[in-house]
Amino acid sequence: MRYLGLDLGSKTLGVALSDPTGLIAHSFSVIHHQENYDQLISEIAQIVDSYQVEEIVLGYPKMMNNSIGEKAKLSEQFKEKLEKELHKKVHLMDERLTTKQAQDLLISNDTSRKKRKKVIDSVAATIILQSYLDKKEK
């Protein structure tokens, strides 16, 4: 069972994909969307179809005090739109501090600042997806 991990930002969408067994997440791409969510869903649909994705994991950016802010509400709306358009189950996964984890990982791997900026969203999506896969396995 293959999963797709998504990290929705204001201008970009980080994308991660699991292996066919649904155990290991890997970075896939970053999609620039400029808040054109219909076009974004069309691009996600192509990935879902090409890789036979069965379920989607979307980062859920709760506030540090566990409250729901504007970004989390946007993720909830995007989840509903994805489920309606793609007819796939979408799971929300707490994504607090994943961008920081991604940045720390990239820095520890000596990734240049220019390269980090290009890949950080897909690495964050990978962390979100892997967290979901690990939680599901337990």
The model carries a pTM of 0.86
> Whole domain around residue 42: which residue ranges?
2-137
Q: What is residue 65's predicted lDDT score, i.e. its pLDDT?
A: 84
How far is residue 31's CA from residue 65's CA, in Å, rounded to a whole number?
30
Return per-residue pLDDT of the chain as tens, 138 residues. Answer: 999 999 998 899 999 999 999 999 999 999 999 888 889 999 999 999 999 999 999 999 887 788 888 989 999 999 999 999 999 999 999 886 666 776 677 677 776 777 666 666 788 899 999 999 998 877
Residue 92 neighbours by CB distance under 10 Å: 18
Tally of domains in the chain:
1
Q: What is d(CA 105, CA 98) in angstroms, rounded to the nearest whole number?
A: 10
CATH value at residue 112: 3.30.420.140
